[in-house]
């Protein structure tokens, strides 16, 4: 028995969300007695990265190194994971909830006849049955789903699980897969773009600016603060609509949904459509000159003040730490 984990990678590096999935699988295997946690990585992945999944709790990593599997070939990935599933005799697949994760999970569910629950936030309750808690309505509520199928797929919401880092390196084995050419017929090209060093959807810290920043020429202070914190930068929708910032930074219901440990909102009013993209953040800090700004109701910490005074001072104080 084993729990299989589908690993996502970008440019050879394993995504943090996949390591969270491994951590989840490790705790799940310990709870259900499913034994080994076997990670499956596809395409060209840095060798040093491969063994590192062990730190998050994987006992073994199966690697299909065919470079055609590098990115975006969803059908081929689903076929490869299904073949690993059959080979290992697993009953459960865990993966990160993401655009790619969802697309692969849906196809995999058909191939291996599995029940699928997405946006999972904690280990299933197995006291009576198999009850999975998942986040719904953009993080505003939870639903409990009973999984009754023998084979199960769980897609884990990002930042919902503490990352395990104290495991030993995993044994790496090559995975032979037999994927028909037709599975490579369509390919999704990557749309996630990094601002600076950090990918917005994956970022652990996000510094976002709104219309209160007055214009694109003032974004230097957002970028400076982001650099100090090792954060990605985001923005409200009007800011990207006006062209102050690129569209891929637009956070909210109609933009990128983030779930960082820390979300810093500067000069953003906190409209419900913006909150829909950030309300899974672990800690929200709001800087706004209007004490009645709705964002303060969702904030863990708030600073009422002019961003043009507060942000440079905050940045200096953080740099001095």
Q: Please count the other Cβ atoms lying within 10 Å of the Cβ belonging to residue 64.
A: 22
Classify the C-alpha dihedral 242-246-249-253 as positive or negative.
positive
Please, which residue, 56 or 293, has the CB nearer to ligand FAD?
Answer: 293
Backbone angles phi, psi at 151, to 5 degrees: -90, 140
* Length of the chain counted residue by residue: 321
Contact set for ligand FAD, span 152-211 (CB under 6 A): 210-211
> Using the rule CB under 6 A, is 233 a contact of ligand FAD?
no
Query: Of 10 and 310, which CB lies nearer to ligand FAD in the complex structure?
Result: 310
Q: Shortest gap between Cβ of 10 and ligand FAD (angstroms)?
A: 24
Looking at the chain, the number of H-run helices and the number of E-run strands are 9, 18
Q: In terms of CB distance, is 181 or 217 closer to ligand FAD? A: 217
**Which of 103, 131, 171, 271 is in the footprint of ligand FAD by CB under 6 A?**
271
The distance of Cα 187 from the centroid of its chain, to the nearest Å, equals 21
To the question of whether residue 269 is assigned a binding role by annotation, the answer is yes
Structure tokens at 215: 């214009």
Supply 201's token pair.
Answer: 């959807």
CB of 57 to ligand FAD, least distance (A): 35
**Binder among 173, 300, 306, 316 for ligand FAD (CB under 6 A):** 306
Burial grade of 191 (CB within 10 A; 0-12, 13-18, 19 or more): exposed
Shortest reach from residue 63's CB to ligand FAD, in Å: 38
Stretch near ligand FAD under the rule CB under 6 A, chosen from 88-96, 180-188, 198-206, 302-310? 302-310
* Angstrom distance (rounded) from CA 108 to CA 133: 21
Using only C-alpha atoms, the chain has a radius of gyration, in whole angstroms, of 21
Q: Match 């230097």 to its residue by tokens.
A: 220
Binding mask 236-265 for ligand FAD (x = CB under 6 A): xxxx------------xxxx----------
Pick the binder of ligand FAD from 290, 313, 316, 317 (CB under 6 A).
290
Does 270 show up as a binding residue in the annotation? yes
219 binds ligand FAD (CB under 6 A): no
User: Judging by DSSP bridges, how do beta strands 283-288 and 262-266 pair with one another?
Assistant: parallel
Residue 93 structure tokens: 């697949």
Check residue 54 for interaction with ligand FAD (CB under 6 A): no
The DSSP code for 9 is E
Q: Rank residues 197 and 300 by Cβ distance to ligand FAD and give the closer one.
A: 300
Q: Is residue 175 within 8 Å of residue 80, measured between CB atoms?
A: yes
**Where is the binding site for FAD, in residues?**
211, 267-274, 288
Instruction: Summarize as ranges the residues that interact with ligand FAD (CB under 6 A).
Output: 210-212, 236-239, 252-255, 267-269, 271, 273-274, 277, 287-290, 293, 306-308
């Amino acid at each position: 028995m084993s729990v299989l984990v589908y690993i996502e990678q970008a440019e050879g590096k394993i995504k943090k969300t996949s390591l969270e999935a491994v951590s989840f699988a490790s705790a799940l295997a310990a709870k259900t007695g499913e034994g080994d946690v076997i990670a499956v990585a596809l395409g060209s992945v840095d060798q040093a990265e491969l063994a590192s999944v062990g730190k998050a709790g994987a006992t073994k990593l199966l690697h299909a190194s065919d470079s055609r599997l590098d990115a975006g070939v969803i059908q081929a990935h689903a076929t490869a994971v299904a073949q690993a599933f059959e080979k290992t005799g697993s009953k459960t697949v865990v993966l990160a909830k993401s655009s790619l994760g969802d697309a692969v999970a849906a196809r995999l569910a058909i191939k291996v006849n599995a029940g699928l629950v997405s946006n999972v936030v904690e280990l299933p309750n197995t006291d009576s049955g198999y009850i999975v808690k998942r986040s719904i309505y953009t993080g505003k509520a939870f639903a409990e789903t009973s999984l009754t199928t023998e084979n199960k797929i769980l897609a884990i919401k990002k930042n919902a699980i503490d990352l395990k880092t104290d495991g030993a390196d995993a044994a790496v084995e090559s995975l032979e897969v037999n994927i028909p050419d037709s599975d490579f017929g369509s390919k999704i090209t990557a749309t996630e773009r990094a601002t600076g060093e950090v990918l917005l959807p994956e970022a652990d810290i996000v510094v976002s600016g709104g219309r209160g920043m007055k214009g694109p020429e003032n974004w230097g202070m957002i970028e400076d603060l982001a650099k100090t914190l090792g954060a990605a930068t985001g923005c409200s929708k009007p800011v990207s609509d006006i062209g102050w910032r690129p569209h891929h930074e637009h956070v909210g219901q109609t933009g990128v949904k983030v779930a960082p440990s820390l979300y810093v909102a500067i000069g953003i009013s906190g409209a419900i459509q913006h909150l829909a993209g950030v309300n899974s953040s672990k800690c929200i800090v709001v800087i706004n000159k209007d004490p009645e700004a709705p964002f303060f109701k969702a904030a863990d910490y708030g600073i009422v003040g002019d961003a043009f005074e507060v942000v440079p001072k905050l940045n200096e104080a953080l740099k001095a730490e």
